[in-house]
Copies of this chain bind each other. A is one copy, B any other.
């Protein structure tokens, strides 16, 4: 085929039906886990005042923005993340809700990065946050949701681990080692890159703070340096039966400047140790965004759709669970009405309407076609049943395509007996 005149922009995805079904699988799993854990859904705008993002992150993402001037001369940006908007929303509406607020969002974000495997210029993110509770019980509740999400995707112990740290442990360390308060961000930046930095560069950077690599790595290695918050979180999650999924890892500090305490990342433990999700406590952001009008402690995490999808596809048991869901949700219909006699088209249309009205996913040939061709189309559409309307109407025949068996009934009570057949355990109904 000749090249088409237009294509999707680099880093942007076309969700053809199967891709869209995969996306829906992620969304529905995220949504159902959050709902059963008592979170309510919200959504913020995709376009915001650019100042909101600059205020939040001090420009950390500013080189990656889809930023432009709108027709009204406003400096606006496609959201690179959701937390800044969320902080704005919570500052404005929080007094209408009992505390703590447990909120989640599933939304698309945009960053101008080099497209590569596992990263595009748009991605979907599952954002979960708790506001109004400063203690580690909120962090534990949040981390339990991250774990339950992984379990809901079919992952099991050994597939992933949540590595938990606490910036406060490092702040104590810094105080003990005489690091000036205004150099703490620089110090945390060094810790953040400790695994990726060249040894000689790391050594030089630490030396500038009168520290040695051995001191820092020794601190990371000693479990006695766990903060009280970490200990409380581990105890809480152990009571829930989730202790095995959590471990202390003080090398995690997370890059973003706005974190204020406990931070954590969910890692794929089988392969490349990619971070599947990450988050932590950010107790000062609401105050920053609202310019001191509202002060509310907060903790949250985000999980993007690229990494979790790759991980599902690489993990046999999780991939199989997704495939079962896709088979049920990507198909065109459950019942395909075969119009074997064009004289009975009007009757067929009525039957199709009745079945659909009863919630049964039903399709049929829009124009006259050979019966054999119609059966082929029924199979292509993923139908479980072909319901044949022929000269013998109101007698109907149904072919069960999965088992190649046949049944029959009359048009009068077709909805009832087709519903009964569909509930027989040879496969689930379409969602």
Binding site for B on A (CB under 8 A): 1-2, 4-10, 12-17, 19-21, 23-24, 32, 35-49, 51-52, 55, 66, 68-72, 74, 76, 78, 88-89, 91-93, 95, 97-98, 100, 102-103, 108, 110, 112, 122, 130, 133, 135, 137-138, 141, 144, 148, 151, 236, 239-242, 289-291, 293, 330, 332-333, 345-347, 349-350, 352-353, 356-357, 359-363, 366-367, 377, 380-381, 430-431
> Given A70-B66, A350-B240, are A12 and B291 neighbors across the interface (CB < 8 Å)?
no
Known: A17-B41, A20-B42, A66-B71. 17 other contacts (CB 8 A): A5-B290, A6-B55, A8-B44, A14-B42, A14-B93, A16-B93, A20-B43, A21-B40, A36-B361, A66-B68, A72-B112, A130-B366, A133-B366, A137-B366, A148-B356, A239-B345, A240-B353
Min CB distance A335 to B, Å, is: 9
Q: Kindly provide the distance from the CB of A187 to the nearest chain B CB, expressed in whole angstroms.
A: 30
Instruction: Tell me the nearest residue of chain B to A152, going by C-beta.
Output: B357
Given known A70-B112, A241-B353, A366-B133, contact A91–B4 (CB-CB < 8 A): yes
Contacts of A5 in B (CB 8 A): 55, 289-291, 293
A45/B356 in contact, CB under 8 A: no
**B14–A148 CB distance below 8 A:** no
Chain B residues within 8 Å of A148, by CB: 356-357
Closest residue of B by beta carbon distance from A96: B16
Q: Are A15 and B43 in contact (CB under 8 A)?
A: yes
Interface of A is mostly: mixed
CB-defined contacts of A135 to chain B, threshold 8 Å: 366-367
Q: Is the CB of B431 within 8 A of A35?
A: yes
The answer on a CB contact under 8 Å between A78 and B47 is: yes
Q: Which residues of B contact A37 (CB under 8 A)?
A: 356, 361-363
Question: How far, in Å, is A163 (CB) from chain B's closest CB?
Answer: 21
Choice from B78, B88, B241 contacting A6 with Cβ under 8 Å: B88
Q: Which B residues are CB-close (under 8 A) to A352? A: 240
Chain B residues, Cβ within 8 Å of A350: 239-241
Whether B349 lies near A239 (C-beta < 8 A) is yes
Partner of A17, one of B42, B88, B345: B42
Listed by A's residue number, 24 A-B pairs whose Cβ atoms lie within 8 Å are A4-B290, A6-B48, A6-B52, A8-B45, A8-B48, A8-B88, A9-B49, A9-B74, A17-B40, A17-B42, A35-B361, A36-B360, A36-B362, A36-B430, A46-B46, A47-B122, A66-B71, A68-B68, A71-B112, A98-B381, A130-B366, A133-B366, A236-B349, A241-B353
Instruction: Give Cα A151–Cα B357 distance, bound, in whole angstroms.
Output: 9
Contact yes or no, A69 B71, CB < 8 A: no
The answer to whether A13 touches B345, judged by C-beta atoms less than 8 angstroms apart, is no
Nearest opposing residue in chain B for A376, CB measure: B98
Chain B residues within an 8 Å CB radius of A2: 293
A8 to chain B, nearest CB (A): 5
Which residues of B are found within 8 Å of A7, using beta-carbon distances?
49, 88, 92
Question: By the criterion CB–CB under 8 Å, are A38 and B381 in contact?
Answer: yes
Provide the bound-state CA to CA distance between A250 and B5, in Å: 36
Q: Are A76 and B241 in contact (CB under 8 A)?
A: no
B-side contacts of A42, CB under 8 Å: 14-17, 19-20
| A122:B46 contact, CB within 8 angstroms | yes
**A14 pairs with B51, CB closer than 8 A:** no
Instruction: Give the shortest distance, in Å, between A30 (CB) and chain B (any CB).
Output: 13
Q: Which residue of B lies closest to A293 (CB)?
A: B2
Contact indicator A23/B49 (Cβ below 8 Å): no
**Contact in complex: A4, B330 (CB < 8 Å):** no
Please give the distance in Å from A146's CB to the nearest CB on chain B: 13
Shortest CB-to-CB span from A104 to chain B, Å, is 10
Across-interface contacts of A12 in B (CB, < 8 A): 45, 47-48
